[in-house]
Chain A
Amino acid sequence: MSATLFKRRFHVLPGFHLALGYTIGYLSLIVLIPLSAVLLKTMTLTFEQFWTIVSAPRVVASFKLSFGAALIAAAINAVFGLMLAWCLVRYSFPGKKLIDALVDLPFALPTAVAGIALTALYAPNGWIGSILEPHGIKVAFTPTGVLVALIFIGLPFVVRTVQPILEDLETELEEAAASLGAQRWQTFRLVLLPILTPALLTGFALAFARAVGESGSVIFIAGNMPMVSEIAPLMIITKLEQYDYRGATAIALAMLVLSFALLLAINALQGWKASQRTRNPGRKS
C-alpha cells in the first residue's frame, strides 16, 4: 500500500492501511487465489480439449437445464415476488407479520432440507404430487422439479429488493396520476412500474445468480437423469467423483464465464433503465 498508489490524504481516523491491507490479504487468500486456480487449471488444457469437454452433449444438456430453469424461476419470482411485496406493503391481513418474517426462510433453511421437503411434497405419493399425478402432471424427478426447487431458493430476493422501494414511494405520485385522470392500471404501468424496474431487475439478477449454482435443493427433487434432469453443478460433482479434475474445472470455468456474462448484461440493462428515468426521480430520499 504505497503512498503513490493511493493519493496521499490527511486522515484524522487511524487504521486505514491496517484495515485495507487485512481486507485485501484475506480476500486474496480465501477468494481470489482459490478462484484463480480454476482459471490456471483450465489453462493446462488446449482449447480443443476444453471445447471437447464443454461441448459434450451431456454437459450441454446440463447447461441448458441449469441456465434455462434459473431464468424461468427468476422470471416467475419477479412476477410473484412483486405481487407478494405489494400485498405486504399495501394491504393488511391476518398473519401478515408472520408471513413477512417467513419470506426469508429460503435464506435461513439449509438447502438440503428444502430439497427433501419439496421432494416429499411433489413426489407422486406426496401431498401435492398425489393431486397432480391423476392429471398427468409430474413434478418431482423431472425438469419441472428443478424449476420448483429454484423458485423456492430465489423467492426472497425479489420481495426483499422491491419491498423497501414500495415502502418509500411517495403517495403523491399516485394521487397526481389519479387527479390527472389515470386509471389505476395506467398509474401502475406508467408511474409505479418504471420506478420499481431497477429493483425488480436487481432481485431478478440475484435470484438468477443463486439459482444457476444451486445444487443442494435440486439434486433430491431432480432425479438427476443424464440429458434430462441433470444440472451443471452436478456434472462438476460427477467429474470430481471420477477424479477427472480437468473436466470438472473446465465445466466450472464455462459456468463462471456464462453466469458473469449474464449478470453483466442484467447490470447494463439496469444502468440503461436507471438513466432513462433520471429526469423524474420519484423516491423520498
Chain B
Amino acid sequence: MAAAAALHVPAGTLGHFDYQASPATREANWLRWTLLTLSLAFFAFFLLLPLVAVFVEALRKGWGTYLTALTDPDALSAIRLTLLAAAISVPLNLVFGIAAAWAIAKFEFRGKQFLITLIDLPFSVSPVIAGLVWVLIFGAQGWVGPWAAEHDLKVIFAVPGIVLATIFVTFPFVARELIPLMEAQGREEEEAAIVLGATGWQAFWRVTLPNVKWGLLYGVILCNARAMGEFGAVSVVSGHIRGLTNTLPLHVEILYNEYNFAAAFAVASILALLALVTLAIKTFIEYQHARAMAASTE
C-alpha cells in the first residue's frame, strides 16, 4: 500500500496547465461552481473551522489566562517530556529508515515485498494496540515485567514506556519516504563512486544522501509531528501522572476533563502552531524538491 503522504512534485508548482482553455477539459460554469462550492464548504466545515476554533477558544479568556496556562509547571514538564520522546524516537527511526531503504532500494533479495509490508504494519495497527503491546511485555503481569520490577526498572506508567509507544507509532515514516525515492534514483551513481575508489560510507554521504535529502527531511518532519502529537498509544502506557508522565496531548485531555477549557485550548494551541509550522516546512520542502527535479531534467 502506498505511503500516506509521499513527497510528490505538484505539476502546478513550476509550469501551469490551463484546463479551462480547451472545451475538451472544461466543465460548464454551473458545474464548476457547484464542485468548487461543495469542496470548499467541506474543507471549511471539517478542517478550517476546527483549526480556527482552537485559537479562538484559547484566547477567549484573554492573554493573561493563556500565558498562565502555558507557564504552569505541569504544562512545562509536559513540554519537556514531549520534546524528550520526540528527540529519542525520531533519530532511532531515522537510522532505521536509512538502513531499510539502503537494503531494499539498492539490492535485490527474496521476500522484499513482504518486508515492505511488515514495515508498513504500524500504520494499520490502532495506536491503542500499539500501547497495549508494551503493557503486555513490560506490565506487572507481562513477559519481562516481574524481572524489570526486580531490577527497579519502571517502563509502564513511566517515561521509557512513553518513548517505546512513540517509536512504534512513528516507525514507518522515514522508511516509507526513502524507499521509493532511493529506488527511483537507482544504484548506478553509487556504483560509479565505488568503482572510482570511494568507500561505502563516502558513496553514501556524498552521492546517496545529497540525492535524497529533501525526501529524508520530509519523512523526519512528518515523523516528528506524529511523535509530538501521539495520543492513543501514549495514553495507554502513561498512567497520567501529572508532572511526570504527561505529554502535551495528555495534558490537554486532563485539563479538558477538568472543565478547564481555556487552559486546555491554550496548550492545544501550542500543538496547533507546531502543526502549522510542520505544514509550512513541508510545503517549502516540496517546492525545493520540485526545483531540484526540474533542474535535473533540464
Contact = CB atoms under 8 A, between A and B. Distances in A.
**Best-surrounded residue of B123, B133, B256 (most CB of chain A within 10 A):** B133
A260 interface: yes
A107 B132 contact: no
B69 interface: no
B279 A104 contact: yes
A167 B13 CA distance: 11
Contacts of B51: 102, 105, 109, 117
B121 to A, nearest CB: 6
A245 interface: yes
Given A80-B42, A152-B47, A240 B102 contact: no
A252 interface: yes
Contacts of A45: none
A215 B249 contact: no
Given A84-B39, A114-B50, A171-B25, A90 B132 contact: no
B79 interface: no
Interface stretch (A51-59, A176-184, A273-281): A176-184
A87 interface: yes
B136 A112 contact: no
B137 A213 contact: no
Contacts, number: 318
B295 interface: no
Interface string B215-232: 000000010011011111
Contact of A38 (B102, B132, B250): B132
**Best-surrounded residue of A107, A126, A205 (most CB of chain B within 10 A):** A107
Given A23-B99, A38-B133, A216-B249, A13 B231 contact: no
B222 A213 contact: no
Nearest to A28: B118
* Chain A: interface size category: 35 or more
Nearest to A187: B24
A104 B115 CA distance: 27
B48 A102 contact: yes
A251 to B, nearest CB: 9
A184 B11 contact: no
A265 B30 CA distance: 38
Nearest to A38: B133
B268 A259 contact: no
B200 A256 contact: no
Given A116-B252, A179-B24, A37 B136 contact: yes
B167 interface: yes
Contact of A108 (B100, B124, B225): B225
A157 interface: yes
B287 to A, nearest CB: 10
Given A84-B42, A202-B1, A109 B129 contact: no
Interface string A1-32: 00001110101111110111011101100111
A110 B82 CA distance: 12
Contacts of B48: 102
A30 B168 contact: yes
Given A110-B228, A110-B229, A209-B123, A240 B191 contact: no
26 contacts: A12-B187, A14-B200, A18-B99, A19-B102, A24-B115, A37-B142, A38-B132, A41-B136, A84-B42, A87-B40, A99-B40, A99-B43, A105-B47, A106-B47, A107-B225, A113-B229, A113-B271, A113-B272, A116-B268, A167-B10, A213-B124, A233-B127, A234-B128, A237-B235, A248-B132, A255-B129
Interface of A: 5-7, 9, 11-16, 18-20, 22-24, 26-27, 30-35, 37-38, 41, 80, 83-84, 86-87, 89-91, 93, 99-114, 116-118, 120-121, 126-128, 148, 151-152, 155-157, 160-161, 163-164, 167-168, 171, 174-175, 177-179, 184, 202, 205-206, 209-210, 212-216, 220, 232-234, 236-237, 240, 245, 248-249, 252, 255-256, 259-260, 263, 267
Q: Which 9 A-B pairs have the closest CB atoms?
A: A213-B126, A110-B229, A216-B231, A14-B200, A34-B133, A178-B24, A108-B275, A167-B11, A19-B103
